[in-house]
Structure 1
Amino acid sequence: MISKKIGLVESIASKSNGLDDIRVKINGEIQRAYNYPKLTGEVNIGDEVVLNTTAVELSLGTGGYHFVISNLNNMESNFTPGGHIMKLRYTPLQVKVDAVEEQESPYHDAIEEFESLENMPVVVGTLHSMLTPFVASYKRNNPSKKLVYIMTDGASLPIYLSKNVDTLKNKKLIDSTITIGNAFGGDYECINIYTALITAKEILKADVVFVSMGPGIAGTGTKYGFTGIEQGPILDAVKKLKGMPVAIPRVSFADQRDRHMGISHHSLTVLNDIVNVEVNIPITTYEDEKLDVVKRQIETKELDKKHHIVYINNKNTEEDLNYFGLSVRSMGRNYQQDKEFFDAASSAAYYLMEVCDDSRRENY
Structure 2
Amino acid sequence: MISKKLGIVEEIIDKSENLDDIRVNVNGEIQKAYNYPKMTGAVNVGDEVVLNTTAVELSLGTGGYHFVISNLNNIESSFTPGGHIMKLRYTPFQIKVDSVEEQESSYHSVIDNFESLYDMPVVVGTLHSMLTPFVASYKRNYPNKKLVYIMTDGAALPIYLSKNVETLKNKNLIDYTITIGNAFGGDFECVNIYTALITAKEVLKADAVFVSMGPGIAGTGTKYGFTGIEQGPILDAVKKLGGTPIAIPRISFSDKRDRHRGISHHSITVFNDIVNVSVNIPITVYDEDCMAVIKNQIENNNLNHKHNVVYINNGKTKEDLDYFNLRVKSMGRSYEQDKEFFQAASTAAYYLMEVCNDRRKNY
Task: State the TM-score bracket (shorter-chain normalisation).
Answer: over 0.9
Q: Structure 2: any 5+ residue segments left out of the alignment?
A: none
- Equivalent in the alignment of 1:80: 80
Q: Is the 1:53–1:67 Cα contact (8 Å) retained in structure 2? A: yes
Shift of 1:17: 4.4
Matched, 1:311 2:311: yes
Matched, 1:13 2:1: no
More displaced stretch, 10-19 vs 345-354: 10-19
Q: Deviations over 1:123-164 (max 9, x none)?
A: 000000000000000000000000000000000000000000
Q: Distance in 2 between matches of 1:17 and 1:72?
A: 19
- Equivalent in the alignment of 1:56: 56
SS in 2 for 1:309: strand
- Equivalent in the alignment of 1:186: 186
Pairwise CA RMSD: 0.8
- Equivalent in the alignment of 1:272: 272
Q: Deviations over 1:74-117 (max 9, x none)?
A: 00100000000000000000000000011110000000000000
Q: Structure 1: any 5+ residue segments left out of the alignment?
A: none
Matched, 1:212 2:212: yes
Q: Distance in 2 between matches of 1:28 and 1:266?
A: 42
More displaced stretch, 31-40 vs 60-69: 60-69
Q: Distance in 1 between matches of 2:335 and 2:62?
A: 20
- Equivalent in the alignment of 2:247: 247
Match of 2:109, as an amino acid? D
- Equivalent in the alignment of 2:147: 147
> Could you list the runs of 4 or more consecutive aligned residues of structure 1 that deviate by over 4 angstroms after TM superposition?
none
Describe how 1:107-122 pairs up with structure 2 within 5 A: 107-122=107-122
Describe how 1:282-361 pairs up with structure 2 within 5 A: 282-357=282-357
- Equivalent in the alignment of 2:172: 172
Q: Distance in 2 between matches of 1:86 and 1:297?
A: 43
Shift of 1:16: 3.2
SS in 1 for 2:290: helix
Q: Deviations over 1:212-265 (max 9, x none)?
A: 000000000000000000000000000000100000000000000000000000
Q: Is the 2:284–2:347 Cα contact (8 Å) retained in structure 1? A: yes
Equivalent residue pairs, number: 359
- Equivalent in the alignment of 2:238: 238
Q: Distance in 2 between matches of 1:189 and 1:304?
A: 36
Q: Is the 2:17–2:38 Cα contact (8 Å) retained in structure 1? A: no
Taking structure 2 as the reference length, the TM-score comes to: 0.98
Q: Is the 1:117–1:241 Cα contact (8 Å) retained in structure 2? A: yes
Match of 1:352, as an amino acid? L
More displaced stretch, 60-69 vs 101-110: 60-69
Q: Deviations over 1:291-333 (max 9, x none)?
A: 1100000000000000000000000000000000000000000
Shift of 1:64: 1.0
Q: Deviations over 1:321-349 (max 9, x none)?
A: 00000000000000000000000000000
Q: Distance in 2 between matches of 1:268 and 1:330?
A: 20
SS in 2 for 1:22: strand
Q: Is the 2:156–2:214 Cα contact (8 Å) retained in structure 1? A: yes
